[in-house]
């Protein structure tokens, strides 16, 4: 039977989680509800519920703010970033985990040093390099740095996952005549699926929400992503809070929905790679 102390700790844990959920969830709920209220209603009683739900306001914000174009740019940049990170990180993790070659520890250490380096430490050199290559005001100006920033964590997670797999699997595949390419595609990739799902979700969220590089490298309005497009929108409609809250809701809710839908896969991928 559960002791009183165990029951009390579980109850306390749930209470703390509920309080934290309310603290972090209230601003999101208030933003969504405020998008259905006029400016007068918002200022008169900010905490009151809207008298009606009219999704036409969201349609107006989508059309007026050119959010369709910004969303398409974000989707293209995010998709390309995730594909590159999964491909390169999977190959690198397989090489670091299953091959012994000179300088592997040094290379892995240099790669993982990217987890400790802030963007500001290499931004100036990166900006000058992009100027010389003519990459600014192109999608590659975002895809390349997003990929580079996501690779260290992705390689670390996938390598930890592969290190925990039994070596007998790979020995048996070698005895069956598997080469490196076939072993990676037929054996490693299916086993890496939970880790790849975790990396994909983290990478997608980071690329979708990144603001600083998108602001500094993209000035063409046709290439702006949602975070910078929303900044331009808010500067034009800074006093129309209904439109502003509608645009914010449109941008925020999809990523919240993605995380809620896949949070079990994220947790499973992290814990499985760590426990093995």
Delineate the domains of the chain, giving CATH numbers in brackets. Answer: 65-275 (1.10.3720.10)
Q: How many residues does the chain have?
A: 276
pLDDT, position 76: 95
pLDDT, position 267: 64
CA distance 181 to 119: 35
How does 251-268 read in b/e, with b if 16+ C-beta sit within 10 Å?
Answer: bbeeeeeeeeebeebbee
pLDDT, position 266: 64
pLDDT, position 143: 94
Per-residue pLDDT of the chain (276 residues; tens, 9 = 90+): 457 777 888 888 899 989 998 898 888 888 888 888 888 888 888 888 888 888 888 888 888 878 889 989 999 999 999 999 999 998 888 888 877 777 777 887 888 777 777 777 778 888 889 989 888 899 999 999 999 989 988 888 888 888 877 777 777 777 777 777 777 777 788 888 888 888 888 898 889 888 889 988 998 888 999 888 888 777 776 667 888 888 888 888 887 887 777 766 666 655 554 444
Q: What pTM, to 2 d.p., does this model score? A: 0.81
Q: Would you state the structure tokens that stand for residue 181, as one six-digit string?
A: 């390419």
Alpha helix (H) ranges present in 35-166? 39-44, 56-64, 67-98, 104-112, 123-133, 140-163
Burial of 244 (0-12, 13-18, 19+ CB in 10 A): buried
Q: Would you state the structure tokens that stand for residue 94, as one six-digit string?
A: 């397989």
């Amino acid at each position: 039977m559960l002791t009183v102390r165990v029951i009390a700790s579980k109850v306390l844990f749930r209470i703390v989680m509920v309080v934290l959920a309310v603290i972090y969830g209230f601003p999101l709920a208030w933003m969504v509800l405020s998008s259905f209220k006029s400016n007068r209603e918002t200022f008169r009683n900010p905490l009151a519920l809207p008298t009606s739900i009219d999704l036409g306001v969201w349609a107006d914000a989508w059309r007026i703010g050119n959010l369709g174009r910004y969303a398409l740019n974000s989707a293209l940049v995010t998709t390309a970033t995730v594909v590159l990170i999964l491909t390169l990180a999977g190959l690198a993790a397989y090489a670091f985990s299953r091959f012994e070659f000179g300088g592997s520890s040094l290379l892995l250490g240099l790669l993982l040093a990217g987890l400790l380096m802030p963007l500001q430490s290499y931004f100036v050199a990166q900006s000058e390099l992009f100027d010389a290559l003519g990459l600014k005001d192109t999608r590659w100006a975002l895809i390349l740095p997003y990929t580079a920033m996501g690779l260290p964590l992705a390689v670390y997670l996938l390598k930890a996952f592969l290190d925990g797999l039994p070596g007998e699997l790979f020995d048996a595949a070698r005895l069956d005549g598997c080469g490196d390419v076939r072993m990676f595609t037929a054996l490693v990739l299916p086993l890496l699926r939970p880790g790849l799902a975790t990396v994909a979700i983290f990478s997608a969220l980071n690329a979708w929400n990144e603001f600083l590089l998108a602001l500094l490298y993209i000035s063409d309005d046709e290439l702006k992503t949602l975070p910078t497009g929303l900044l331009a929108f808010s500067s034009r409609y800074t006093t129309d809070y209904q439109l502003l809250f509608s645009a914010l809701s449109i941008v925020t809710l999809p990523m919240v929905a993605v995380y809620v839908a896949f949070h079990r896969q994220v947790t499973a991928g992290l814990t499985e790679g760590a426990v093995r």
